[in-house]
Structure 1
Amino acid sequence: MAYDNLLIVLAIAAAVPLLLATVPRLPLPGAVLEILAGIVLGPAVLHLVEADTAVELLSVIGLGFLLFLAGLEIDIQQLRGPGARLIGTGLLASAVLAALVGWCLHVAGLVESPLLIGTALLATALGLLVPILKDSGAIDRPVGQLTIGGASGGEVGAVVLLSLLFSERSSGVGSKIILLLTLVGVAALIVAASVRVGRWTRLTGTLDRLADTSAQIRIRLAMLLVVGLSAMSLHLGFEAILGAFVAGAVLRMVDPHAERAHPRFHMKLAGLGYGFLVPVFFVTSGIQFDLGALFEDAGTVLRVPMFLAALLLVRGLPALMYRAAGLSWPDVAAGALLQATSLPVIVAAATIGLKLGAIRPENASALVAAGLLSVIVFPLVALPLLHRSRRSREKRPATTERPATAPTEAAPPNRSDG
């Protein structure tokens, strides 16, 4: 096995954050810059690197770890509480809009599989959203709570549908639903057993003692959970990413306050993922990006803004319902833009669709390009709106009385990681 290509991929992964730190005004998330670097240095432009066996293997593992980290961000409390009805209604509206958009594009002869397109449009880049909301100070505000809740539901729905409807191991939908319930049942048993075992003070003391030694026992157990559920997902006929995603959600439910109780644990997981595996996936996605198919004709290029508008319609429009929670219009607009920000699941959907012949290369390239633009453009527009709303809220007590809707705004529960 040669390491030349992997060396270049890791060099790109190391150079991107250094470049962003050197040029702090560069309005690009690291994931986007990694994909763009892969496109430029890959076969599409300079052909200095290609995805060989070592790179592809780590890329697959990186995708699984990215979904694991996304599942780790899922807070079940966000899908309960006072805002649960708004979040659920918004998700239902997104699902209906996704089905309608996919069907219309299919009838117009623009896409092959309306289900694949609809599933790809349903997701939100939860892993990218959380840092943005934290950095803007909106994570504990109602706009942050509702946006994360809606993003969590969209991410869960998209990953489940992608594995349920578009697996290389084909079987009937009815049997897959039964197998999916089996996977969920196993995950529930793991949660119940872990909670019960966690009451054994001797065992928890041993885990705490070994956590920061060379044993790194919490990391080893976490990796066992990820690989175990991924393997089970494959054996049940689903994509491995579903098992990885479920593993993250299971770990969050087993230890919901881990970021406060074991802060180094989450830091180590993030270091392993975002420091090594996840960048390999993004750079490899750029290397495998079919730039020629995207610019093959003007019609294909025009599909990029079409898919971008579809993302804003499917995920952004339902955010208007958050106005009922007392959010200001700038907050509603910011929530709509952030919920329409999507990339990892789009890349996964395009990759799986190409393998199954459910999407043409030009449509896959246009869809991924739309995801790249959403990650660049939507947060840039949303952040000033969040800052404007925050400034107006800070000035409000000094100038006017607190509005009657304030209790509604404060209703969603605080996140444990705030």
Structure 2
Amino acid sequence: MTSTQAETLFLALAVVLALARLLGAAARAIGQPAVLGEILSGILIGPTFFHGNLAKHLLPTAVLPYLGSLAVLGLAIFMFLTGYELEHALLRSQGRTAIGVAVSAFVLPFGLGVLLAFHLADGHHLQSRTGFVLFLGAAMAVTAFPVLARILADRNMMQTRIGGISLASAATSDLLAWLLLAIVVVVAGGPAQWRLALVPVYLAVLIGAVRPALRRILRAAPDGADAALTSGAVAAVLGGLMLSCWATEWMGLHYIFGAFVFGAALPRGGTEQLRSDGIVDSLRNLGVVFLLPIFFVTAGLKVDLSHLGSRGLIDLVLILLTAVTGKAVGAFAAARALRMPTREAGILATLLNTRGLTELVILSVGLQLGVLDQELYSLMVVMAVVTTFMAGPILRVLYPDAQIELDRTAAAAVRTKQPATAAAR
């Protein structure tokens, strides 16, 4: 890297961070998650507006490869945190309700997405028709688990029954989507598909050898231990994360799977040091605050709506109708079948329609694999933004703050009674 390139890179990074923080704050000011503004920051400086002149001046072509590398690292850390923060106990505790809602909220949008894919495939140049059909189904079925968690936290819904069910349903639905995306990666093809046979070996080593080793390394430090143990733990986690990303990329899967699985496999019990010493918070600050906005910008630079014609507008309407209807009807119907009240079923359907960041990750993989062309990628990003934006206004109508407080109080009373009831028995 030359001195001029270094100067340009540092300036570009400052611009990216400033835009992300500014638009993220603007999104929060209107009751939206900050991630929505951060996604828009990339789109605004992309080729959609001003013929791409903003990007040419703010982010010259010479620095784009470096920004791309930083975006890869940020996405890997984000997927690791997503896997690590996936609460296994939460999935088990909600039981039949969460699984029933998740399956219905996955199957219906997936089926509608497949039908729409057959219609869209004829009008676009695609490398793999089968891959595109499966991919569009998966993209329609996904829910942005991290964004959903943020919405619940902002509205104080974490301790409500509907909040727990929505989180568990979203986590289950996303697990299904990641599995399907892995199949899409295989269908799309690669130079060494025989390496996929090593995936079970990789998982066995990760769970049988790496996980126990990490548990020993990450076990809470004894009194008087110095900072060396903390730095060693950070090095162990990051080193394992990089190796896991390398392994899945080498085997023919995408590196995001390596990051997600490594985070999900990280031991929970006996690893208090991860939280107490702020290791997870440090990684979150590095990945989410600094590196992930770079991913938003590089992804937004690929969105081009400047040449959107009448056919593109029709495709966009079809994509939005399929995405919103499939997810909402699937979640609502399952919730009602499980005897949830109509209002709660509507709230659940609204929450699970949030796609946001997770959708953007999946779309970036699809564009990289060639199962999406540039126009479809742009339209799908718009869908991700619209469905995420919808959640806030609808929730304020269906679930006002006063009702949330009542539900939180009721949930707390139930939790307080449970130990006493158990003791009485």
Do both share a fold (TM > 0.5)? yes
Say yes or no: does 1:390 pair with 2:390: no
Offset at residue 343 of structure 1 (A): 2.7
Letter in 1 for 2:278: R
SS of the residue 1:346 aligns to: helix
Residue of structure 1 aligned with 2:388, choices 372, 375, 381: 375
Structure 1 residues 263, 162: CA separation in 2 closer, same or farther (over 3 Å shift)?
same
Residue of structure 1 aligned with 2:180, choices 161, 171, 187: 161
| Counterpart for residue 323 of structure 2 | 311
| Counterpart for residue 298 of structure 1 | 310
TM-score when scaled to structure 2? Answer: 0.80
Instruction: List per-residue Cα deviations over 1:178-220 (Å, max 9, x = no partner).
Output: 5443333233224651476269xxx74279834x569633322
Residue of structure 2 aligned with 1:30, choices 34, 46, 55: 34
CA distance in 1, matches of 2:258, 2:409: 47
Say yes or no: does 1:251 pair with 2:266: yes
| Counterpart for residue 415 of structure 1 | none
C-alpha contact 1:338 1:378 (8 A) present in aligned 2 = yes
CA distance in 2, matches of 1:95, 1:77: 21
Residue of structure 2 aligned with 1:287, choices 279, 301, 313: 301
CA distance in 1, matches of 2:414, 2:214: 34
Say yes or no: does 1:329 pair with 2:342: yes
| Counterpart for residue 58 of structure 1 | 70
Letter in 2 for 1:86: T
Residue of structure 2 aligned with 1:103, choices 99, 111, 114: 114
C-alpha contact 2:135 2:371 (8 A) present in aligned 1 = yes
Offset at residue 96 of structure 1 (A): 2.6
Aligned ranges 1:254-265 → 2 under 5 Å = 262=276, 264-265=278-279
How many residues are paired up?
394
CA distance in 2, matches of 1:33, 1:265: 27
Offset at residue 24 of structure 1 (A): 5.2
CA distance in 1, matches of 2:369, 2:46: 24
SS of the residue 1:358 aligns to: coil
Residue of structure 2 aligned with 1:274, choices 288, 291, 301: 288
Say yes or no: does 1:75 pair with 2:87: yes
Instruction: List per-residue Cα deviations over 1:32-53 (Å, max 9, x = no partner).
Output: 2223222222344333325611
Residue of structure 2 aligned with 1:139, choices 136, 158, 169: 158
TM-score when scaled to structure 1? Answer: 0.81
Offset at residue 149 of structure 1 (A): 0.8
CA distance in 1, matches of 2:32, 2:111: 32
| Counterpart for residue 254 of structure 2 | 239
Report the RMSD for the aligned CA atoms in angstroms. 3.5
Residue of structure 2 aligned with 1:127, choices 146, 156, 161: 146
Residue of structure 1 aligned with 2:190, choices 147, 158, 170: 170
Structure 1 residues 215, 149: CA separation in 2 closer, same or farther (over 3 Å shift)?
closer
C-alpha contact 2:74 2:291 (8 A) present in aligned 1 = yes
Q: Percent identity?
A: 22
CA distance in 1, matches of 2:287, 2:326: 29
C-alpha contact 1:335 1:382 (8 A) present in aligned 2 = no
C-alpha contact 1:6 1:55 (8 A) present in aligned 2 = no
Where does the alignment leave 5 or more consecutive residues of structure 1 unmatched?
398-405, 412-418
Structure 1 residues 5, 288: CA separation in 2 closer, same or farther (over 3 Å shift)?
farther
Letter in 2 for 1:363: L
CA distance in 2, matches of 1:25, 1:196: 42
Offset at residue 245 of structure 1 (A): 0.6
Letter in 1 for 2:71: S
CA distance in 2, matches of 1:360, 1:263: 44
C-alpha contact 2:147 2:356 (8 A) present in aligned 1 = no
Aligned ranges 1:341-360 → 2 under 5 Å = 341-360=354-373
Letter in 1 for 2:72: V
C-alpha contact 2:145 2:358 (8 A) present in aligned 1 = no
Where does the alignment leave 5 or more consecutive residues of structure 2 unmatched?
123-128, 419-425
Residue of structure 2 aligned with 1:366, choices 369, 379, 396: 379
Letter in 2 for 1:53: P
Letter in 1 for 2:105: S
